[in-house]
Structure 1
Amino acid sequence: MSLPRRAVLAMGLAAAAAPATAANADPPYLAIALQLTCDAVNADATPEAARERIGRSITRVGAQVRASIGFLRGFTGVEPRLVVLPEYAFTGFPSSESRALWQAKAAFDPGGREYEQLASVAQATKVYLAVNAYATDKAFPDLYFQATTIFSPSGETMLHYRRMISLFAPSPFDVWARFLDVYGYDAAFPVARTEIGTLAAIASEEILYPEIARMTAMKGAEVYVHPTSEVGSPDLTPKEIARRARSIENMAYLVSANSAGITGTPIPAASTDGMSKVIDFGGKVMAVAGGGETLVANAVIDLAALRSARRRAGMSNLTSRQPWSAYAPAYDKAEGVKPGVAPLDRADATRRQTETIRRLIEVGVIR
């Protein structure tokens, strides 16, 4: 197998960075932000055709996960334990589809075939597998949410985070009272305490909102999975700045997997391509991918070093210096998006945002 020199160097450096750690004391492991092409279902005429495409995509990606793990294990000598896939990797995003049609074509049933297939991939490869997909919810049969799910090496669902901030898709906040009644507040910002650290999820654009990461940081999040589908650029884009900031301010690793393009739509395929990366708890980019499908964005996660830094007194220990309770009253009184009915379409979402802007002008937040 021939790889570009940049890829070989990146993986070699990741292996060299693996520290000598005492046996069974938070051993370092390899995290992979797997950059893959999304074969979108938008052009499929029927839900049945879309489901067939999704099934083929899961089979293809499953083979890529297995091959990537095997190659990196042999190349680096470090055990891969975490694989993160890009945002909506098996469907793409809704365009002109109604909410009901997109739900029929692209939303996965948490107890259904697609999640079973993905759980089997995690089980077969013995890794924690982070997947982002539109998902139905038995408590809200008329809605779907964009959910990030982490499967354990045994195929168990360890975490199911429903995206909180989304302009056009439903979110738990749209049905907040009912969501809290059914699932409780803890389910809104879940963490998974695992043998590879305390894991949490940030979905795509949510990286721009410090509060999303902070809610799980207060529960001890150590490794963030960040499925995204965005413009990959060597420049410091807003999301790139935010990725580094979230890692620094929460003293946590971040594994960000971007698309390697989206096919099957009129949008140029490489519009969302490249720059998947792994960032350490000091904001340093440890590995970064170029364009196209690649496993180059892989790096060693050293939990022992992270936990040592969090236990050490000093100015650099940002987590221990936070007066979180001082912020609570201001958040409680602040204006913002109001909970209510989930938007039926893009026009509904735009009207709701316009109303929020009007209220922010009234209270002087926006001039």
Structure 2
Amino acid sequence: MTAFIALALQVETRAVTAAAEPRAEIGAAIERIGAQVGASKAWLGSDLRLVVLPEYVLTGFPMRESFAEWRAKAALDPEGPEYRALADLAARHGVFLCVNAYERDEHFPELYFQASVILSPGGEAVLRYRRLHSMFTPTPYDVWERYLDIYGIDGVLPVARTEIGNLAVVASEEILMPELARALALRGAEIFCHPTSEASSPMLTPKAIARRARAVENLAYVVSANSGGLTGIAIPVDSTNGGSELIDHQGRVLAQAGAGESLVAAAELDLATLRRARRRPGMGNLPSRVKTGLWAEEYARHDGERPGETPGRDRAWFLARQAETIERLYG
């Protein structure tokens, strides 16, 4: 299949931070999403094959919870009932479904990760990416040696080769990190799924600019799903509301949603066109012109955030680590 419809499904996120029964709220969120995916497919047609959901759409984000509290309240088990329900949803509607959630890992029982999982129409997890850049959440880089021993570099930077193209995930503000998208593109990624929950504006925001840049510099599609409002916490509901969009390999916006829950951010992705562009010599073929060896050597000379620094248990630890990194870079 070289052409199909992709949807950045803009749905409301209901935070479970203050919920009396957070697991029940997560189940209810999955049911709402299932109904909306089904209605979206009925509206957009059978060519709808890829649906990307917003960041932490099932739970919102932790506020003052400790690692242990948030793991118990909101983190999913990779083989648990929530993922099974989401896999059934993907199979029922015949779509690849990209969902972002906090999840546990039996190898790191004291931590949780923010994961983006792509579930296939066959009901299988074809990609699991744990976010590498996060301000207040543990990442694989914090437990680097052991994480590599268990999952290998392919588990750190996964690309799913599917019948609708090569899929990868760049989560939230990671779209501001050009190295991640470039590494995934060098591994073959053609479509970046971008689950996000971000401040929206009629003006171009830093993330909106970055989405266009990542598409152009990697000759890739970007399917970016933002929240359709965030309820259940004191932050104003519409602070993260609207602007879900699809961008082609020339940085053109194919579709963009306004505010509220919406299926408007949907468009046809044409892989044949993309692949022709990737094989066409010329100034615009930027991936073919990158001096990867040069930049790998130069980057290795600059010590920023260090691997293997097992994270502390509160926001203060993350802030202190960032301050130390800034001092190394600019002190």
Fold equivalence (TM over 0.5): yes
Paired residue type of 1:253: Y
Matches within 5 A, 1:54-69: 54-69=26-41
Whole-Å separation in 2 of the counterparts to 1:329 and 1:217: 19
Match of 1:356 in 2: 325
Match of 1:307 in 2: 275
SS in 1 for 2:168: strand
1:346 aligns with 2:309: no
TM normalised by structure 2 equals: 0.98
1:217 aligns with 2:192: no
SS in 2 for 1:327: helix
Whole-Å separation in 1 of the counterparts to 2:290 and 2:88: 41
- Give 1 or 2 for the bigger CA radius of gyration: 1
Whole-Å separation in 2 of the counterparts to 1:316 and 1:328: 22
Deviation (angstroms), 1:361: 2.6
Conserved? CA contact 1:276–1:289, under 8 Å:
yes
Whole-Å separation in 1 of the counterparts to 2:97 and 2:240: 22
- Counterpart of 2:74 (choices 97, 106, 122) is 106
- Counterpart of 2:11 (choices 31, 36, 49) is 36
- Counterpart of 1:258 (choices 226, 229, 233) is 226
Deviation (angstroms), 1:219: 0.5
RMSD (CA atoms): 0.9
Matches within 5 A, 1:175-324: 175-324=143-292
Q: Deviations over 1:11-66 (max 9, x none)?
A: xxxxxxxxxxxxxxx43100000000011101124xxx100110011011111111
Conserved? CA contact 2:200–2:243, under 8 Å:
yes
Q: Deviations over 1:116-166 (max 9, x none)?
A: 000011000010000000011121111110000000100110100000000
Whole-Å separation in 2 of the counterparts to 1:309 and 1:217: 14
Conserved? CA contact 2:219–2:274, under 8 Å:
yes
Count of residue pairs the alignment pairs up: 330
Conserved? CA contact 2:52–2:97, under 8 Å:
yes
SS in 1 for 2:76: coil
SS in 2 for 1:86: coil
Conserved? CA contact 2:302–2:329, under 8 Å:
no
Deviation (angstroms), 1:221: 0.6
SS in 1 for 2:12: strand
Identity, in percent, stands at 56
TM normalised by structure 1 equals: 0.89
Deviation (angstroms), 1:343: 3.0
SS in 2 for 1:313: coil
Whole-Å separation in 2 of the counterparts to 1:281 and 1:86: 22
Paired residue type of 2:58: F
Runs of 4+ aligned residues of structure 1 deviating over 3 Å after TM superposition are none
SS in 1 for 2:228: strand
1:137 aligns with 2:109: no
- Counterpart of 1:50 (choices 10, 15, 22) is 22
SS in 2 for 1:142: coil
Conserved? CA contact 2:200–2:240, under 8 Å:
yes
Whole-Å separation in 1 of the counterparts to 2:93 and 2:28: 19
Whole-Å separation in 1 of the counterparts to 2:213 and 2:62: 30
Conserved? CA contact 1:168–1:343, under 8 Å:
no
